[in-house]
Amino acid sequence: MEVVTVTYWGFDGKKHQGQIVVDRRLAGEVKQIFRDLEAAEYPIEKVVPVVKYRWHDQSSVDDNNTSGFNYRTIEGPGIRSKKLSKHATGRAIDLDPYYNPFVSASGKSPRRYDPAHPASLTRTSRAVKIFKKYGWRWGGDWRGAKDYQHFEKP
Ligand SMILES: [Zn+2]
C-alpha cells in the first residue's frame, strides 16, 4: 500500500490537501485522477485514511470521508458477506460517500440519493467520466444494487 497525498476542492470552495491509501501500483494513477477531479472542480469534503476511524467503514461514510484501502469484507445495509471487498486490496475508492449512498436492489438506502447535490455522482458526472477514463468501474453502473460512491480498478 502507499499513502498518496492529494489536493482537492473542498465544500468550502478552497483547496485542501488530504491522504488516501491505495495499492502501491495504482499510486501514480490515483494521483492523476485527483488532479483531474481538481481540474474539473469536483467538490470533496475530506480525504483521510480510514485508520483515523479505527477502520470502521460506517464512521468514515457518516463523516463523508473519501477513502481507499480498508481491510474488510463486503458490507452495506442488509449485506454481510465473507468475501473481501476491493477496498481490502487498495483497488477501490469511495468518493463523498455520504452523498453517494449504497442503494439496495429493492431501493433501500440509509440516505436519500439526491442527484442535484454538487457532490452527487451520476452517469453524466465529470468525476465518473474521469475514473472511467482510467479504466475504473463505477458502482452506479451495477445492475440491481447500486453503490454510487464506489469506484474500483479491475
Ligand atoms: Zn466502496
**Ramachandran angles phi, psi of 26, nearest 5°:** -105, 0
3 state DSSP class of 81: strand
Q: Give distance in angstroms: CA of 97 to centre of ligand 1.
A: 8
- The pLDDT tens digits along the chain (154 residues) read 999 999 999 999 999 999 999 999 999 999 999 999 999 999 999 999 999 999 999 999 999 999 999 999 987 767 778 899 999 999 999 999 999 999 988 888 888 889 999 999 999 999 999 999 999 999 999 999 999 999 999 9
Residues with CB under 5 A from ligand 1 (ion): 92, 94, 150
pTM confidence score: 0.95
Specify the residue for cell string 475508492: 93
Could you tell me which of 41, 37, 61, 45 has the C-alpha nearest to residue 11?
45
First to last CA, the chain: 16
H or E segment to which residue 123 belongs: none
17 contacts 5 by C-beta, under 8 angstroms = yes
Distance CA 62, CA 21 (A): 19
Task: Count structural domains, the chain.
Answer: 1
Q: Give distance in angstroms: CA of 90 to centre of ligand 1.
A: 10
- Domain that includes residue 24, residue range: 2-152
Cα separations in angstroms, 125 against 45, 67, 107, 138: 17, 19, 21, 11
Q: Give distance in angstroms: CA of 100 to centre of ligand 1.
A: 10
